[in-house]
Structure 1
Amino acid sequence: MHRAESQDNMLVKSYILLPLILSAFERDASILSAELRTPAPYLEVVQTAAGAAIADLRNVRTEMRARGLKVYAQQQLEVGIEAKFVCRGYHERMLLLDDVITAQSTIRMRRYLGLGAPDSTALR
């Protein structure tokens, strides 16, 4: 049985997470613009972060093509997201649990926003 390499799995994970992150930035930007009296500086930060995430997604897609990876199905399950993909001719499956999606998305969003890694006590 063929198993995708760890780099391949990281690319697929990023391919799944980045659109979720972009949706969160978009949703947050609309909330900020509706609720704040002076949303412009906050929106600029969110838009800059979203631009970086878009660039990363573009790079992920390019690298996936170069490595022979293609996600052909994604399904929202009760426990998370299941992705089916082809890795150089072999069919693979990845399950990202909701807790993993939340944790990984939060870490990446903080990085895009220039906040760095969260304090370990804040996660408790």
Structure 2
Amino acid sequence: MEKRGPITAEDTALVKRYLIVPMILDAFERDKQIIESGLFKSPTLYTDLIDKAMDQATKELTYVRRAFKEHGIKVYDERKTRKGVEAKYLCRGYHKEMSMLWTFISAEATVLRRLLLAEHGCKWRSEYSGSDAAGPQTVLPRKDQLMIRVGRLHK
């Protein structure tokens, strides 16, 4: 069901997430190739964790695309420039432009990648150590405190 009215902060957050998550997937894939190149003695320890994080990021992107339909959002132009990423999108009949600097994208992607990796690392620790603890204490923001306030990472 498509919402009515002007563009909201949630709509903008969805567009940001739509632009950033594919870059995260690309970065994970590059990291995985480097790890598999023979520099690590036990690469599967790391690639398994990256694979799980990539699965979660893919689910997040699926959620965002579904939310696009509900919110009436369509990104129709996306360009990478020297300064960052520029996108044009349509939201319930309103044409809007967004630009994000590479420094912002890098910071957001780093936080999201850490959350994706930490989520699976903590699950692994809990499952295999016999501990019921949620995992090590972290200085990372909770998922609901991200700059991109869409909600939790979707499973």
Q: Does 1:86 align with 2:113?
A: no
* Structure 2 residues without counterparts, runs of 5 or longer: 120-137, 142-155
* Structure 1 residues without counterparts, runs of 5 or longer: 119-124
Q: Deviations over 1:24-65 (max 9, x none)?
A: 000100100112121011000000101100000000000011
Distance in structure 2 (CA, Å) of the matches to 1:114 and 1:88: 36
TM-score, length of structure 2 as denominator length: 0.72
Equivalent in the alignment of 1:33: 36
Distance in structure 1 (CA, Å) of the matches to 2:54 and 2:41: 22
Q: Does 1:113 align with 2:117?
A: yes
Amino acid at match of 1:70: K
Equivalent in the alignment of 1:59: 63
Amino acid at match of 1:65: K
* 1:3 CA displacement: 5.4
Q: CA RMSD in A?
A: 1.5
Matched position secondary structure for 1:91: strand
Amino acid at match of 1:4: I
Runs of 4+ that moved beyond 4 A? none
Distance in structure 2 (CA, Å) of the matches to 1:80 and 1:3: 26
Rate the CA distance shift 1:103–1:53 in 2: closer, same or farther, 3 A. Answer: same
Greater CA radius of gyration, 1 or 2? 2
Aligned residues with identical type, % of pairs: 36
Equivalent in the alignment of 1:19: 22
Matched position secondary structure for 2:47: helix
Matched position secondary structure for 1:71: strand
TM-score, length of structure 1 as denominator length: 0.90
